[in-house]
Amino acid sequence: MSSTDDREADHVTRAGDPTPAPAPSRDVDLGVAATPRVRNEGRQVREGARALVFKPSRLTIVVALVAVVGGLPLLFSVPYFWLALVVPAGIAVWVLRTRTTVDPDSLTVRTVTGSRTVQWDDVRGLRLGKRSSVSAVLADDAELTLAAVKVRDLPALSLASAGRVADPTGG
């Protein structure tokens, strides 16, 4: 250990010290579930929170805008290229509209074309799909894809649903 390394200095006891140095205390809030996300690092959900909203990353809109700016020179040189600008506009609408809202009573999935609310009593379970997507299996064996919910979000989903969905991590 170097003399400039202070991280371990608090944990080391010297031979002449009568009492050992106290261990570092870590405050742990047992009513908090953390969901690591690229768009919102360390989002925390507290017990008793009314609803939790899962949304696609807003950074996708920036990517669509960069595509529009990059395509502007072609807009004036290629006939009917303006039709290609519909794709970034559609992406922006999808990002702004799509979401899944979870509360202790219900589950609401909103897509570009509509919205559907399902009570937790009508949900038999969750199905984990390809690319870490999550779908709710309903009582009539229909599947409802939970937009913007990934497998890594299941602990937060469990907490927001007031325990109606089991936490797969056992936390």
Structure tokens at 110: 């909103």
pTM value is 0.67
Report which of 91, 105, 168, 96 is spatially closest to residue 132, judged by C-alpha positions.
168
SS3 115: strand
Identify which of 91, 94, 95, 162 has the alpha carbon closest to the alpha carbon of residue 123. 162
- The model's pLDDT over 88-132, given as tens digits with 9 standing for 90+, comes to 999 999 999 999 999 999 999 999 999 999 999 999 999 999 899
* Rounded Cα–Cα distance for residues 67 and 83 (Å): 13
pLDDT in tens, 70-87: 988 888 888 888 888 899
Q: At what angle do helices 59-77 and 86-97 cross, to 10 degrees?
A: 160
Question: Would the CA dihedral through 70, 72, 75, 78 be positive or negative?
Answer: negative
Q: Average pLDDT of the chain?
A: 79
Q: Is residue 169 very low, low, confident or very high in pLDDT (cuts 50, 70, 90)?
A: confident
